[in-house]
Amino acid sequence: MDRLSSTSKYFPAGRDDFTGQLGLIWQVIKEPVDRAGLEITGGGVLGHRYKWEPIKDDIELGNSAYPMVLVQVPMYNEKEVYQLSIGAACGLSWPSDRIIIQVLDDSTDPAIKSLVEVECQRWASKGINIKYEIRDNRKGYKAGALKEGMKHSYVKQCDYVAIFDADFQPEPDFLWRTIPFLSRNPEIALVQARWKFVNSDECLMTRMQEMSLDYHFTVEQEVGSATYAFFGFNGTAGPASKGWKFVYVGDLKVKNELPSTFKAFRYQQHRWSCGPANLFRKMAMEILKNKKVSLWKKCYVIYSFFFVRKIVAHIVTFLFYCVVLPATVLIPEVSVPKWGSVYIPSVITLLNAVGTPRSIHLMVFWILFENVMSLHRTKATLIGLLEAGRVNEWVVTEKLGDATKSKLPAKGTRKPQIRIGERLHLLELCFGAYLFFCGCYDFAYGKNRYYIFLFLQATAFFIAGFGYVGTFVPHS
């Protein structure tokens, strides 16, 4: 591969780019070492299950021996992270004439759109094959942008597509580690990498998100991949229903950012809960009628993925711990057995938490926070099932760019004033008051000491209701 010969065109003459030049030199040196390491490991554990061989140079064919790769980066007003994601995409190690970087900018802010375009031009001046694409509407939101991006004439020459969200930063060897799975196994249509959270230590809320998502990737995605099942319905069920298979590479991590404000996290959880519920309503019969999917896979996706994990789990968690259990202290004739209220949930919680051993000591906070969020997930699930007003709402998760810079205010700057309305969440405050009342009643008249849990859970709802969760970024 003619990598060294094309390196000189990436180096501007100015001293200001000295650090960037050193970085590019390191990439050139690092690439052969990485490739040798990949050959030794054989693609890791998955290399023994699937055909996996590193793509090698061919003297006769030259760079044409390498598949043509399209890298799509969809964006929407991503002022804080656009440079990170574009830079990471342009830094992918692959023959320069066998890769196209496609930035799909749906930004509605003209200033941000201009910044993204200038950034693309900057990389293009360094010899990177990068395309800046915009459209005059947001039809289909991110999925619509990706679909429109595939309609351009230059895409027809591409063999594979890599998609990264605006806050994702893949390592330079990402394509070297994933493309062989696709090129050596014709039945595989998709390779999924694991997320690595760059801001998981920013606040308590991001630590608790990490606990939930680590379980999701360690257990759900790994099992889905190992059994050739749907390891994330949105985006994978379509190809799977046509007989394609997927691979989840757990040791390949791509850096990204967790929502660190409570507002952003609520919007994200609304999408993640409402979307699957609405898909269940629309596609359950279509899945059952599909003849290319085995019976057990149909049972898995309809019962395990949709019904249990995306509908029952949210609704039962909220109704049992935030409505029914508190109500039982007001009705002495009704009792909940300890095995149902304490023992079984404790075992399930422990199994979920083992995916993040470093946060085991936060388990109590995590349980209380998950119960608070079950309120929003239940509401979103019902909206999706009933196709209510916000079913088609798409709010892009706010990113703060915390991967590379601190958000501490500079000395001498005036702190923005905080409006009370920005922090108060009435729904959480109402449930906090309900739980606190039930706790007081149980403390005075009860026998099961449920008031310990009720007071703790009420406190969690009050903390969320007054806006003291996550990183707070007031409007100036």
Whether residue 38 is contained in a domain is answered as yes
User: pTM for the full model?
Assistant: 0.79
Whether residue 317 is contained in a domain is answered as yes
Cα distance between residue 356 and residue 210, in whole Å: 8
Structural domain of 328 = 204-401+419-476
Of 288 and 69, the one with more pLDDT: 69
Cα distance between residue 289 and residue 233, in whole Å: 17
Q: Are residues 461 and 369 in the same domain?
A: yes
Whether residue 408 is contained in a domain is answered as no
Q: Are residues 174 and 75 in the same domain?
A: yes
Q: Are residues 250 and 362 in the same domain?
A: yes
Q: Are residues 318 and 374 in the same domain?
A: yes
Q: Are residues 208 and 246 in the same domain?
A: yes
Q: Are residues 357 and 475 in the same domain?
A: yes
Residue 161, both tokens: 């597509």
* Domains contained in the chain, number: 2
Q: Are residues 281 and 308 in the same domain?
A: yes
Q: Are residues 167 and 208 in the same domain?
A: no
pLDDT interval class at 36 (50, 70, 90): very low
Residue 424, both tokens: 């108060």
Above 60 in pLDDT, residue 7?
no
pLDDT tens profile 198-212: 999 999 999 999 998
Whether residue 414 is contained in a domain is answered as no
Whether residue 301 is contained in a domain is answered as yes
Q: Are residues 272 and 237 in the same domain?
A: yes
Q: Among 164-178, 368-382, 419-433, where is mean pLDDT lowest?
A: 419-433
Q: Are residues 84 and 218 in the same domain?
A: no
Partnered with residue 101 across adjacent β-strands are: 71, 130
> Average pLDDT, stretch 99-114?
95
Q: Out of 186, 216, 246, pick the residue that ends a domain.
A: 186
Integer Rg of the chain from CA: 25
Q: Are residues 138 and 283 in the same domain?
A: no
Per-residue model confidence (pLDDT) at position 5 = 37
Whether residue 472 is contained in a domain is answered as yes
| Single-letter code of the amino acid located at 53 | E
**For residue 156, what is the domain's CATH number?**
3.90.550.10
3-state secondary structure the chain: CCCHHHCHHHCCCCHHHHHHHHHHHHHHHHHHHHHHHHHHHCCCCHHHHCCCCCCCCCCCCHHHHCCCEEEEEEECCCCCCHHHHHHHHHCCCCCHHHEEEEEEECCCCHHHHHHHHHHHHHHHCCCCCEEEEECCCCCCHHHHHHHHHCCCHHHHHCCEEEECCCCCECCCCHHHHHHHHHHHCCCEEEEEEEEEECCCCCCHHHHHHHHHHHHHHHHHHHHHHHCCCCCCCCCCHHHHHCCCEEEEEEEEEEEECCCCEHHHHHHHHHHHHHHHHHHHHHHHHHHHHCCCCCHHHHHHHHHHHHHHHHHHHHHHHHHHHHHHHHHHCCCCCCCCCHHHHHHHHHHHHHHHHCCCHHHHHHHHHHHHHHHHHHHHHHHHHHHHHHCCCCCCCCCCCCCCCCCCCCCCCCCCCCCCCCCHHHHCCHHHHHHHHHHHHHHHHHHHHCCCCCHHHHHHHHHHHHHHHCCCCECCCCCC
Per-residue model confidence (pLDDT) at position 124 = 96
CA 46 to chain CA centroid, Å, is: 23
Q: Are residues 100 and 214 in the same domain?
A: no
pLDDT tens profile 309-356: 899 999 999 999 999 999 999 988 888 887 777 788 888 888 777 778
Whether residue 339 is contained in a domain is answered as yes
Whether residue 199 is contained in a domain is answered as no
Above 50 in pLDDT, residue 40?
no
